[in-house]
């Protein structure tokens, strides 16, 4: 068993202020695989002081090109340890190894590469014509920022937030989830290796109380939160009350619309990848599958075959597509939704329980529901497990209506042989990202975020960078000319 006795605070490995510990339990074997200190309020105070000192320099005053070099180095250093990082994430939260190298780690380095490139070209200072004379418009770091991280894609969410903060010049306090503290230890070693100036990053694994303490801390100017909609409402309320900048990336219940001209042979494998991605523990998972009444049975048959063929088991086995869920409570929650689906009248076409022969580990069978009405609980609530629902629609307008009949608006997709028809559907669905015949409904360099209860604000792209910047207008004398 791995035992850690330090925390990464302001770029130093230090003894924790408190005595609480976190036990990391393998979702596959149910055994304790590591014990790490749980950060406490005293650690947060130290991290905030270190971040405030770092804000004074030298990192925030570096040129954008110098900051971009740090981001590129961070990406390269993670790539150099990508296999190890992927294995650690698989061990702590059960992501299948067939997916984790790309989905958890290399996708994160692609995000960091995107931040590096954007930092080199973003207009951090520009002179604009004003009403009375020229105006110097400056983008300055937002101040001390905090990144609150969920357990499902821990490094990827760090890359979204820390990448933006380092691009902007903002020190960041990261709070990993108690389920996934181990990848943060590798990240700390990597930050040492690239010699990031001290104080810029602290990594404080802890639960929601310490998370809330960070959010309320007067020394924290900006909160980047990713997690459930329920927690996001709370975080948003605190930030609103304190007039703190905040970005909320929350849950989803995305609809994949299969138009009648879609080629099912090519659609189904890609769609399965986005629907059961990361054991179904993905905010952008396409879990409501909409098929026309004319092709409903055909679509159900094709999906049922694919779900039946999905291998479940030890996530370290590269032939396994679906591993265990992160925790026993998550397994029970997902099984509870399956029961609810049955009791509300939906029909289980495949799966519907715990897989036979897997006595240890928090496994749930990949499950396909048919005869689902959009008002049912399994069509409205985020399940966060390998559970799919196929809903019938009358015509494309009805499909768009069903897709939009949701509190969420994070992602979605349309499957068609007519891309223009797909773009037409995409324009009508109220979500923050959308894919046409795409496995990926999120692009590593373009804005990502939610409409409605899926969040507030955007990450990635210039919009995501702006969320870590304050804008200052310096009104210059009318006859000002910049030095040549
Ligand atoms: P969660 O809301 O329970 O926890 C997320 C993080 O917030 C954890 O670090 C947790 O300790 C912390 N936290 C919880 N309550 C808090 C509070 N009141 N104040 C401060 N911090 C608090 O979510 P989870 O179970 O870890 O993650 C799954 C959820 O995350 C799903 O709903 C999923 O859709 C969502 N998610 C969204 C995105 C996105 O980009 N939109 C990406 C990944 C996951």
Q: How far is the CA of 149 from the centre of ligand 1 (A)?
A: 7
Query: Which of 204, 227, 250 is the best mutation target for the ligand 1 pocket, counting ligand atoms within 8 Å of the beta carbon and taking the most?
Result: 227
149 CA: nearest ligand 1 atom: 9
Any idea which architecture 255-436 has in CATH? 3-Layer(aba) Sandwich (3.40)
Report the distance separating Cα 288 and Cα 379, nearest Å: 7
448 CA: nearest ligand 1 atom: 40
Map tokens 């497990």 to a residue: 385
Q: Which helix (H) or strand (E) holds 483?
A: none
Residue spans of the domains in the chain: they are: 2-250+454-473, 255-436
Residue nearest to atom 31 of ligand 1 (CA): 228
Map tokens 């990597």 to a residue: 190
* CA 120 distance to own-chain centroid: 25
DSSP 423: H
Residue nearest to atom 32 of ligand 1 (CA): 228
Alpha helices per DSSP H over 22-63: 41-55
Is the pTM above the cut of 0.95? yes
Neighbours of 429 (CB within 10 A): 21
Report the distance separating Cα 288 and Cα 388, nearest Å: 6
Which regions of 377-463 does DSSP assign to beta strands (E)?
A: 387-393, 408-409, 412-415, 435-436, 451-452, 455-456
Whether 214 contacts 148, CB under 8 Å: yes
Any idea which architecture 2-250+454-473 has in CATH? 3-Layer(aba) Sandwich (3.40)
pLDDT at position 419 is 98
Alpha helices per DSSP H over 56-136: 64-80, 82-93, 97-100, 107-121
Strands 125-129, 32-37: pairing kind: unpaired
Report the distance separating Cα 282 and Cα 275, nearest Å: 9
Residue nearest to atom 34 of ligand 1 (CA): 251
Q: How far is the CA of 357 from the centre of ligand 1 (A)?
A: 32
One pLDDT digit (tens) per residue for the chain, 484 residues: 999 999 999 999 999 999 999 999 999 999 999 999 999 999 999 999 999 999 999 999 999 999 999 999 999 999 999 999 999 999 999 999 999 999 999 999 999 999 999 999 999 999 999 998 999 999 999 999 999 999 999 999 999 999 999 999 999 999 999 999 999 999 999 999 999 999 999 999 999 999 999 999 999 999 999 999 999 999 999 999 999 999 999 999 999 999 999 999 999 999 999 999 999 999 999 999 999 999 999 999 999 999 999 999 999 999 999 999 999 999 999 999 999 999 999 999 999 999 999 999 999 999 999 999 999 999 999 999 999 999 999 999 999 999 999 999 999 999 999 999 999 999 999 999 999 998 767 899 999 999 999 999 999 999 999 999 999 999 999 999 988 8
If you compute the radius of gyration of the chain from its CA atoms, what whole number of angstroms results? 23
Residue nearest to atom 21 of ligand 1 (CA): 211
Exposure of 203 in the CB half-sphere (CA atoms within 13 A): 29
Residue nearest to atom 4 of ligand 1 (CA): 227
207 CA: nearest ligand 1 atom: 11
Whether 8 contacts 202, CB under 8 Å: yes
Q: Which helix (H) or strand (E) holds 462?
A: helix 461-466
Q: Which sequence positions are flagged as catalytic?
A: 249, 283
Alpha helices per DSSP H over 122-181: 154-168
Which residue in 450, 123, 125 sits closest to 459, CA to CA?
450
Which residue in 104, 92, 90, 36 sits closest to 327, CA to CA?
92
Whether 235 contacts 68, CB under 8 Å: no
Neighbours of 483 (CB within 10 A): 3
Query: Which of 108, 209, 231 is the best mutation target for the ligand 1 pocket, counting ligand atoms within 8 Å of the beta carbon and taking the most?
Result: 231
Query: Which of 228, 241, 252 is the best mutation target for the ligand 1 pocket, counting ligand atoms within 8 Å of the beta carbon and taking the most?
Result: 228
How many residues does this entry show for the chain? 484
Exposure of 464 in the CB half-sphere (CA atoms within 13 A): 33
DSSP 431: -
Q: How far is the CA of 210 from the centre of ligand 1 (A)?
A: 13
* Pocket, ligand 1, Cβ cutoff 6 A: 148-153, 175, 177, 207-208, 211-212, 215, 226-228, 231, 234-235, 249-252, 283, 382, 384, 410, 450, 455
Residue nearest to atom 9 of ligand 1 (CA): 177
């Amino acid at each position: 068993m791995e035992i850690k006795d330090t925390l990464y605070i302001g770029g130093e490995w230090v003894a924790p202020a408190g005595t609480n510990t976190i036990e990391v339990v393998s979702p596959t074997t149910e055994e304790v695989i590591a014990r790490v200190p749980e950060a406490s309020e005293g650690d947060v105070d130290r991290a905030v002081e270190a971040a405030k000192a770092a804000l004074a320099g030298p990192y925030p005053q570096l040129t954008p090109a110098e900051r971009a070099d740090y981001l590129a180095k961070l990406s390269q250093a993670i790539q150099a340890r990508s296999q190890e990082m992927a294995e650690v994430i698989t061990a702590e939260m059960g992501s299948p190894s067939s997916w984790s190298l790309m989905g958890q780690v290399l996708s994160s380095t692609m995000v960091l590469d995107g931040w590096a490139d954007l930092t080199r070209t973003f207009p951090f200072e520009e002179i604009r014509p004003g009403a009375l004379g020229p105006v110097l418009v400056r983008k300055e770091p937002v101040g001390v920022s905090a990144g609150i991280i969920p357990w499902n894609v821990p490094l990827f969410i760090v890359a979204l937030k820390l990448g933006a903060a380092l691009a902007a010049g903002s020190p960041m306090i990261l709070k990993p989830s108690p389920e996934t503290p181990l990848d943060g230890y590798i990240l700390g070693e990597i930050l040492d290796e690239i010699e990031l100036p001290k104080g810029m990053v602290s990594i404080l694994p802890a639960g929601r109380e310490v998370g809330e303490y960070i959010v309320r801390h007067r020394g924290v100017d900006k909160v980047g939160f990713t997690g459930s909609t329920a927690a996001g409402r709370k975080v948003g309320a605190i930030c609103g009350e304190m007039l703190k900048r905040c970005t909320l990336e929350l849950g989803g219940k995305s609809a994949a619309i299969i138009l009648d001209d879609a080629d099912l042979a090519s659609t189904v494998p890609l769609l399965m990848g986005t629907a059961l991605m990361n054991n179904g523990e993905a905010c952008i998972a396409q879990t409501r599958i909409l098929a026309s009444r004319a092709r409903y049975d055909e679509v159900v048959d094709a999906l049922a075959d694919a779900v039946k063929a999905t291998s479940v088991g030890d996530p370290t086995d590269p032939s396994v597509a679906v591993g265990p869920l992160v925790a026993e409570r998550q397994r029970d929650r997902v099984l509870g939704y399956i029961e609810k689906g049955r009791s509300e009248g939906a029909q289980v076409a495949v799966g519907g329980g715990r897989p036979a022969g897997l006595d240890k580990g928090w496994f749930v069978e990949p499950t396909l529901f048919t005869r689902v009405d959009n008002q049912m609980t399994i069509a409205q609530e985020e399940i966060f497990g390998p559970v799919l629902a196929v809903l019938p629609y009358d015509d494309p307008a009805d499909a768009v209506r069903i897709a939009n009949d949701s509190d969420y608006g994070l992602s979605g997709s349309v499957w068609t042989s007519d891309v223009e028809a797909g773009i037409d559907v995409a324009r009508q669905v109220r979500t923050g990202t959308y894919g046409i015949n795409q496995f990926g409904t999120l692009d590593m360099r373009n804005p990502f975020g939610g409409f409605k209860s899926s969040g507030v604000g955007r990450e990635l792209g210039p919009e995501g960078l702006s969320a870590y910047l304050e804008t200052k207008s310096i009104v210059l004398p009318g006859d000002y000319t910049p030095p040549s």
